[in-house]
Amino acid sequence: MEIIVTGRHTQIGQRFRDIVETKMNRVTTIAPDAARVQIVVTHEGNPRQADTAKKVEITVVAGRTVVRAEASSADEFSALDIALDKLTLRLRRSRDRRKDHRRGYANAVPVDLGVVEPPASTKEEETPEERADHADVLAADLGPGESVEVQVGDTPIVIRRKLHIAEPMSIDEALYEMELIGHDFFLFVNKATNRPSVVYRRHGWSYGVFEIDTAENVKKSKEK
């Protein structure tokens, strides 16, 4: 199994890497088909957030399933333990679901493979409009799972764009994938309507679904 450990705004020490290598045995025990584990450690520089200064994100690619978990703590070691507990719980759910002999899922949730840094501009300074156009060009060149970050003008606003490759799925499958990656929403293509859709968590066990279409397409569908 390939293990990739990267740091954002922080250096990764050898001791942490060694502990990761040891603890990933829990992953292979539950998901022997796991091919890759990506661990990202992020440091929060705000001293007011010292209790959650280190965030650890773990993403596991096991066959056609992608499972993700994250946690924050005062140090990367305790954050790793908390995130790993969440991850193993989700891996067990995925394993148990397969044991129920339900149909498999043909799609994999795109994994964040890191930031694709935009090439240096040949101009001395870009206008906000030029920066927005620049972001569109960069996004068009992205590969599956890749992302790009572009700052908007001289503001602190940073826009991240990603390319996701998605196979149509049912609402039930989308809810299942959302639970595996630990998000409050999941973007997918509804195979019943072929529309871009989003499932999202409301409260308790209540969920919502948004579907997107153009007025022209809706009109054509009604005319058929």
Answer whether residue 66 is part of any domain: yes
In sequence order, the 6+-apart residues with CB closer than 8 A to the CB of 128 are 152, 153
- State how far the Cα of 38 lies from the Cα of 100, in Å rounded to an integer: 28
- State how far the Cα of 181 lies from the Cα of 186, in Å rounded to an integer: 9
Q: Does the CA dihedral 143-144-146-147 come out positive or negative?
A: positive
Do 87 and 15 share a structural domain?
Answer: yes
Do 138 and 50 share a structural domain?
Answer: no
Do 145 and 79 share a structural domain?
Answer: no
Tell me the pLDDT of the chain (224 aa) as tens digits.
899 999 988 899 999 999 999 999 988 888 888 889 999 999 987 777 778 889 999 999 887 778 889 999 999 999 999 999 999 888 888 777 766 644 444 444 444 434 444 444 444 455 555 555 555 555 566 666 566 777 777 777 877 777 777 789 898 888 888 877 777 888 889 998 888 899 888 877 688 888 888 888 777 777 76
What is the CATH classification number for the domain harbouring 90? 3.30.160.100
Q: Give the predicted TM-score (pTM) of the model.
A: 0.55
Query: Within 10 A of 58 (CB to CB), how many other CB atoms are there?
Result: 24
Do 90 and 12 share a structural domain?
Answer: yes
Angle at 61 between CA 55 and CA 65, to 5 degrees: 115
Answer whether residue 104 is part of any domain: no
Predicted pLDDT of residue 48: 75
Answer whether residue 62 is part of any domain: yes
Do 136 and 79 share a structural domain?
Answer: no
Q: What are the beta bridge partners of residue 197?
A: 188, 211
Do 177 and 150 share a structural domain?
Answer: no
- State how far the Cα of 191 lies from the Cα of 138, in Å rounded to an integer: 29
Report how many domains make up the chain. 3
Answer whether residue 146 is part of any domain: yes
Terminus-to-terminus CA distance in the chain, angstroms? Answer: 51
Q: Helix 171-181 to helix 76-99 angle, to the nearest 10 degrees?
A: 150
Range of the domain at 144: 128-162
Query: Within 10 A of 34 (CB to CB), how many other CB atoms are there?
Result: 21
